[in-house]
Structure 1
Amino acid sequence: MNYSIPENFILGAAASAWQTEGWSGKQAGQDSYLDAWYEAEPFVWHQGYGPAVATDFMNQYKTDVRLMAEIGLTHYRTSINWSRFFTDYENLVVDEAYAQHISDVINELLEAGVEPMFCLEHYELPKALMDRYDGWSSKHVIDLFVEYARIVFERYGDRVKHWFTFNEPIVVQTRVYLDAIRWPHEQNSKKWMLWNYHKVLATARVVEVYKAGGYAGRIGCILNPEMVYPRSSSKEDQAAAHYYDLLYNRVFFDPLVLGQYPEELLALCRENDIWFEPTSEELALIRENTVDFLGVNQYYPKRVKAQRFAWAEGQPFHPTKYYEEFDLPGKQMNNSRGWEIYPSIMYDMAMYLTENYPDLDWFVAENGMGQMDEQRFTDETGVIQDTYRIEFIREHLRYLLKAVEAGARCEGYMLWAFTDCVSPMNAFKNRYGLVSIDLENQRARSKKASANWYATLIRERQLQVADLSDEPK
């Protein structure tokens, strides 16, 4: 059967500054959090590849934009690297060479007919602000972020119509302060929640600045909610899923979209000594400056069951106090990445958003499949035959388009990623791109089979799928 793709439905691809640009032209003192982590622990990045060269987008962006045009991307989402944008973060001294690069990229995209979408922070918090103020622990860093946003809007707001404050704002502090599995390995649950709150507050303040500027565009945030499934229908397993959703998903959804936190979440924060002490003025600002739209990243489901054990006295708070992970027997896996493949998350997340945030405009900002050793699928013509990626996109799009037919306010789909790119620890081990990056040949580019398939999809706007009996009704 076929699904017709709506005329204005986004069919694009995404990346970020730090994962593509490389350090060409970077000055002393312009390290981001990711740069600092790579310098401190290069051994945890697969085969030592990190952001130093990445895909060399700084020098090869014109080639990439030409390939985007060939494929027909409607939109391309990336970020501005905050750590590269200034030479002095306190006095807001702009690195004019880097700022010109961003301007050049925007112009190149527009000339190619590709709509640019920009994040202000995709894990690119300046290391200098980590060292001096403990990063997002400080409200002064929020002040600096707001002024950074103001300058960016003034420079590029006439050309860029789609803005986001953060990409996946929960991730860094979850990996560092909650789970303590990433550098600098500081377990601090209260700081975890404080960073969550300060990024919500920063978003509200940037929304206020953007609206006051009268720009002809819109502003939102890119979230990575996990569609959570309880093991069973038991009230205990259902409660486990509820708590997971509350602590990891609604902690951003509710304040950004509805302008207020769930009372139950606030009570949990007080009870577990992770209270972030908001002022009445801050809560009013959050209430009055909700986002225009959201990007929603979706990769895999989250499966949970009821916690079997009492929480140990003196143990630092962790949301696993309220749930355990559940390993579903027989699940379909991407064995390269270790992630479950479950395309129904697209429909289920769309219905979750429709039910809980019915007035929200949103789109899938990331979805994709990483694969190890892709070169082994190269055919005699030199093209990587990534049929597994084509099937992954096809099935996820099928469920997303079914949700659109059912009334979901989804505006489109963006693949992660346009090219293969470096990512934390994974480096280039698992490749995600429509376009291959040759690490041995000056980062040369070549289109995979999926790029040609995606180009046809964009041009014809018809998705052909098997007529499966398990489609959601």
Structure 2
Amino acid sequence: MDFDIMKIPRNFILGAAASAWQTEGWAGKKTKQDSYLDLWYKNNKHVWHNGYGPAIATDFYHRFKEDIVLMKEIGLTHYRTSINWSRFLLDYESVIVDEEYADYTDQVINELLKNGIEPMICLEHYELPGELFETYGGWGSKHVVDLFVKYSEKVFERYGDRVKNWFTFNEPIVVQTRVYLDAIRYPFEQNTKKWMQWNFNKALATAKVVQLFNQKGYKERYGSKIGVILNPEVTYARSSAKHDIEAARIYDLFFNRIFLDPSIKGEYPPELFELMEKHDISFDSTENELQIIKENTVDYVGLNLYFPYRVKARTTAWNDSTPFHPAYYYEMFDLPGRKMNPYRGWEIYPRIMFDMAMRMKEDYGNIEWFIAENGMGVENEFRFKNDEGIIQDDYRIEFISDHLKWLLKAVERGSNCTGFMLWAFTDNVSPMNAYKNRYGLVEINLEENRNRKMKKSAYWYMNLIENRELQIHKDVFR
């Protein structure tokens, strides 16, 4: 078969990502420092696959130096993780820093820089303090927004001289969608209005933290940037019929534009206000808050893309006795013959990279952006070990390669995409799935003291980073 070579620009980020709660474990955690995820695990442990949760995770807290050696060996240019808000402070109201955890974070950042790896730090990756969730209702509270800004200020003061890439949230829509819209996660409350308020308050929190960041002059002093990491659901209508197109448009409005527009454009689509009013789910906002959002947009965005979302117009009547849900306007659609990841139940459609990239170029002012997560989760990977005990994850290599091809094609077409971050550096704990589906370049062996071992994909990624060349079939874009 004929092959072509795609050149990867030298300044194009090739890194990997994780989060604090999915890697660190609870070592050193104080009694009142539970996050929302910790509360969920403690109160609902049986839904976590085989009972694994954040208690030990990958034990990064003790083994970060070992992991950073592996990052350097692979050649990662950047590593994205988070600071655990629930652990960074001893008192969330008076913003008293936990020096033990802050010193650990200092060590991680310094170790990354010493090894030539640029840290990218997120201020909240589902790590809302449990105390604030139970006392104030979490992100439903404007007071929690203000406490988040105060926490952010402490973090910037501590690490702003070394960290150049900052993000307010990772996937700010996810927790409340699982809890308050679909009611499938602890504490299982269906409340669409509360879902909408969380959405707004997180957008407001991003704008307020951006405002603080700019007022403190971190860009001028250190050349730093601040953004947000979103997970837009690249949406395709079932058909070209008007009713299907309309269903996809409204889906996009509720699940994508609800964060893309305020973060990048500084405003919400007018139709969103109309639909919120129609269905009595309007968020509480003031003119001053909307002005803060308007004046404090992000410098860049990270996008987490895994699979497409396909929708069609409703074919069954909506049950009016149930609370409003955006599904009032659509149904999900399974494309016949689609390629699937059978372990995760997700469609594999690499073209989402190109289509989202073109949207960022055409609809969002060609703002700087990058892929903050993309990867493939597979169950029982030990089946694929060779005689040397190395997992032969050719399926992951194919998945990454196919998505990168479409991403680089978009870069060639002028989309302002500056990099690709793989999820994940190591296998790590995921909500509910725990270690069921493995995503890492590096295996975490649960049976052998969580020992690390690079998979075949790690060696492939190492070669990709060093040579900056991606081999593709000549007919790949047909």
Q: TM-score normalised by the shorter chain: which range applies? A: over 0.9
1:124 paired to 2:127? yes
Which of 91, 95, 105 is the matching residue for 1:92?
Answer: 95
Matching residue within 79, 83, 86 for 1:80: 83
2:242 is the alignment partner of 1:235: yes
TM-score normalised per structure 2: 0.98
Residue pairs, 1:47-66, within 5 angstroms: 47-66=50-69
Contact 2:167 2:227 in 1 (8 A): yes
1:114 aligns with 2:117: yes
1:91: how far off?
1.2
Distance (Å, rounded) in 2 between the aligned partners of 1:102 and 1:333: 38
1:252-331 mapped onto 2 (5 Å cutoff): 252-331=259-338
| 1:43 maps to 2:46 | yes
The residue identity in structure 1 corresponding to 2:432 is M
* Cα distance in 2, alignment partners of residues 91 and 213 from structure 1: 20
Q: Report the Cα distance in structure 2 between the residues aligned to 1:233 and 1:431, rounded to whole angstroms.
A: 37
SS at match of 1:287: helix
Residues 92-131 of structure 1: CA distance to partner in whole angstroms, max 9, x if unpaired?
1111000001110000000000000000000000000011
The separation in 2 between residues aligned to 1:184 and 1:315, in whole angstroms, is 19
Q: Find out whether 1:245 has 2:252 as its counterpart.
A: yes
2:366–2:415: 8 Å Cα contact kept in structure 1?
Answer: no
Which of residues 371, 382, 387 in structure 2 aligns to 1:364?
Answer: 371
Give unpaired runs (5+ residues) of structure 2. Answer: none
Alpha-carbon deviations, 1:63-118, whole Å to 9, x = none?
01000000000000000000001111111111100000111000000000000000
Q: CA deviation at 1:469?
A: 5.3
Show the counterpart of 2:474: 467
Amino acid at match of 2:229: I
Residue type matched to 2:344 in 1? R
What does 1:20-35 align with in structure 2 at a 5 Å threshold? 20-35=23-38
Which of 147, 154, 158 is residue 157 of structure 2 equivalent to?
154
Structure 2: distance between partners of 1:316 and 1:279: 26
Aligned partner of 1:352 in structure 2 is: 359
When the two structures are superposed, what TM-score results if normalisation uses the length of structure 1? 0.99
Report the Cα distance in structure 1 between the residues aligned to 2:326 and 2:416, rounded to whole angstroms: 30
Q: Distance in 2 between matches of 1:247 and 1:353?
A: 18
Q: Deviations over 1:44-72 (max 9, x none)?
A: 11100000000000000000100000000
In the alignment, the residues of structure 1 paired with residue 190 and residue 77 of structure 2 have an alpha-carbon distance, to the nearest angstrom, of 42
The residue aligned with 2:448 is 441
Equivalences for residues 415-434 of structure 1 within 5 A: 415-434=422-441
Query: Per-residue deviation at 1:41?
Result: 1.0
Are residue 19 (structure 1) and residue 26 (structure 2) matched? no
Q: Hey, what does 1:164 align to over in structure 2?
A: 167
- The one-letter amino acid paired with 1:303 is R
Matched residue type, 2:309: K
| Cα distance between partner residues in 2 of 1:373 and 1:167 | 27
> Can you list the C-alpha shifts for 1:130-186, whole angstroms capped at 9, x where unaligned?
111010111110110000000100000000000000000000000000000001000
Alpha carbons 2:360, 2:366 under 8 Å: kept: no
- 1:7, distance to aligned residue in structure 2 (A): 1.1
Which residue is 1:405 aligned to?
412
Output one character per residue of 1:215-271: Cα deviation in whole Å (capped at 9) or x when no partner. Answer: 120100000001100000000000011001100000000011000000011111111
> Alpha-carbon deviations, 1:336-379, whole Å to 9, x = none?
11110000100111111111102311000000000100001000
Measure how far apart 1:441 and its partner are.
1.6
Describe the SS at the equivalent of 1:385: coil
Distance 2:61 2:366 in 1: 38
Deviation at residue 311 of structure 1 after TM alignment: 2.8
Distance 2:31 2:185 in 1: 24
Amino acid in structure 2 at the alignment position of 1:439: L
CA distance in 2, matches of 1:403, 1:325: 27
Is 1:193 aligned with 2:182? no
Distance in 1, matches of 2:192 and 2:252, equals 17
Instruction: For 1:275 and 1:304, locate their aligned partners in 2 and report how far apart those are by CA, in whole Å.
Output: 24
What corresponds to 2:230 in structure 1? Answer: 223
The separation in 1 between residues aligned to 2:273 and 2:321, in whole angstroms, is 21
Give the count of matched residue pairs: 471
Q: Distance in 2 between matches of 1:409 and 1:275?
A: 34
Give the distance between the partners of 1:359 and 1:405, measured in 2 at CA. Answer: 13
Which residue does 1:333 correspond to in 2? 340
Give distance in 2, aligned partners of 1:205 and 1:115: 25
1:9 and 2:9 are equivalent in the alignment = no
Deviation at 1:381, TM superposition (A): 1.1
Partners of 1:464 and 1:164 in 2: how far apart? 33
- For 1:348, the aligned partner's letter is D
Which amino acid counterpart does residue 385 of structure 1 have in structure 2?
Q
Counterpart secondary structure, 1:464: strand
Deviations 1:382-421 (A, max 9, x none): 1111000000000000000000001111001000000000
SS of the equivalent of 1:427 reads coil
Hey, what does 1:178 align to over in structure 2?
181
Q: Which amino acid aligns with 1:92?
A: V
Letter of the structure 2 residue corresponding to residue 185 of structure 1: F
Alpha-carbon distance in structure 2 between the residues aligned to 1:444 and 1:469: 38
Report if the CA contact (8 A) 2:13-2:420 is conserved. Answer: yes
- Give the aligned partner of residue 108 of structure 2: 105
Aligned residue for 2:55, secondary structure, equals coil
Answer with 208-217 or 10-19: which moved more. Answer: 208-217
Q: Percent identity?
A: 63
Letter in 1 for 2:212: V
CA distance in 2, matches of 1:319, 1:410: 31
What's 1:134 paired with?
Answer: 137
Distance 1:409 1:169 in 2: 23
Cα distance in 2, alignment partners of residues 288 and 191 from structure 1: 25
Counterpart of 1:271, as a letter, is: K
